[in-house]
Amino acid sequence: MPGLLILLIVLSLNFSKAQNVSFTGEFKQSNLIIGYAADLDYAKLDGIKLLSDNGYFVFGFDRDSPLIHYLTVKLKNGKSIVKKIELAKRRYKIQRINRMKKKFVTPPPKELARIKREGKILKRARSKIGVNASAYYLSGFIRPVKSGRITSVFGSQRILNGVPKNPHNGLDIAAPTGTPVYATADGIVRLTGKNFFYNGNFVLLDHGQGLSSIYLHLSKIDVKGGKYVHKGEKIGEIGTTGRSTGPHLHWGVNWYGKRIDPASLLKLDLKHVRSIGNKLSSTN
């Protein structure tokens, strides 16, 4: 259904209402989908089993994901649904950024060991994400900065000082240094990084079932690793640490290794999915 911001599908199996499946999210490259099935046994995306929590599961599609996927939902009564997913293709902007410090366009050789070491730290922290089946994300999502101006959108091809670089895998929000940054959803703090070469000071949150969010370039961090935070809880303040040309927040979202557009989270209708879930569960 091209053009829909919220796509909510209820698939009737003609068995009973308790066996319906519901989704919220737009089936489009770089978007996140949340699903619910009463009496869910398991769900698989392209043959890979998804984590679930009381019938709720989540999956997402990468920036450049193939356009055809298959979702299998198996119910405890033995019945199965196989849904062919046809994604809408996205077009991305080209963004040119000039006046960036040369060392951030092409890191000096003396920094390469540091960059490699920091990459390993982040990789270890991310390896813990996707182990927990709890659906912390059911708290719903909010924008992590209440004010500020969006200066760079997800997926844009970045050209730094005339040098083509990797696509931008987040949403940049410019605001004065010290502006509060809030957790976009409930989750566990998996890592607080200090003075990383690219990321500066940052916080990595685990929202369950492979979904994570990251907040870069902070001037201050207000949480510690292992802490459970609630949606809207202050986790830090905007700054310009790391690879940054001015005070702003880089807000990134991943589902496992898939790059997700953070803006897609703000369009999800969690209340509707929860209400369907509660209604269907009550019929059992």
Express each pLDDT in 45-73 by its tens digit: 999 999 999 999 999 999 999 999 999 99
Partners of 53 in the β-ladder: 56
Higher-pLDDT residue of 222, 156: 222
**pLDDT for the residue 160:** 67
Structure confidence at residue 45 (pLDDT): 98
Q: pLDDT above 70 covers what percent of the chain?
A: 83
Give the model's pLDDT for residue 2. Answer: 38
* 232-261 pLDDT tens trace: 999 999 999 998 889 999 999 999 999 999
**What is the average pLDDT score of the chain?**
87
Q: Which residues contact 45 (CB under 8 A, 6 or more apart)?
A: 59, 69, 70, 71
Find the Cα–Cα–Cα–Cα dihedral 23, 267, 251, 94, rounded to 10°. Answer: 100
**How large a percentage of the chain has pLDDT more than 90?**
70
CATH of domain 94-259: 2.70.70.10
* Largest interatomic CA distance in the chain: 65
pLDDT band at 156 (very low <50, low <70, confident <90, very high): confident
Q: Is the pLDDT of residue 215 over 90?
A: yes
Distance CA 212, CA 217 (A): 17
Higher pLDDT, 276 or 283: 276
Q: Residue 14's pLDDT is what?
A: 31
pLDDT at 17: 38
Q: Which residue has the higher pLDDT, 109 or 164?
A: 109
Please give the CATH number for the structural domain made up of 8-90+269-281: 2.60.40
Domain boundaries, the chain: 8-90+269-281, 94-259
Alpha helices in 70-176 (DSSP H): 102-105, 112-127
pLDDT of 183 over the 60 cut: yes
pLDDT band for position 284 (cuts 50, 70, 90): very low
Q: Averaged over 36-48, what is the pLDDT?
A: 94
Residue 158 has pLDDT above 80, yes or no: no
Mean pLDDT over 126-154 rounds to 94
> Which residue is it, tokens 């709890």?
134
Task: Assign 148 a pLDDT band (cuts: 50, 70, 90).
Answer: very high
Range 140-176 burial, b when 16+ CB lie within 10 A, else e? bbebbbeebeebbbbbbebebeeeebebbbbbbbbbe
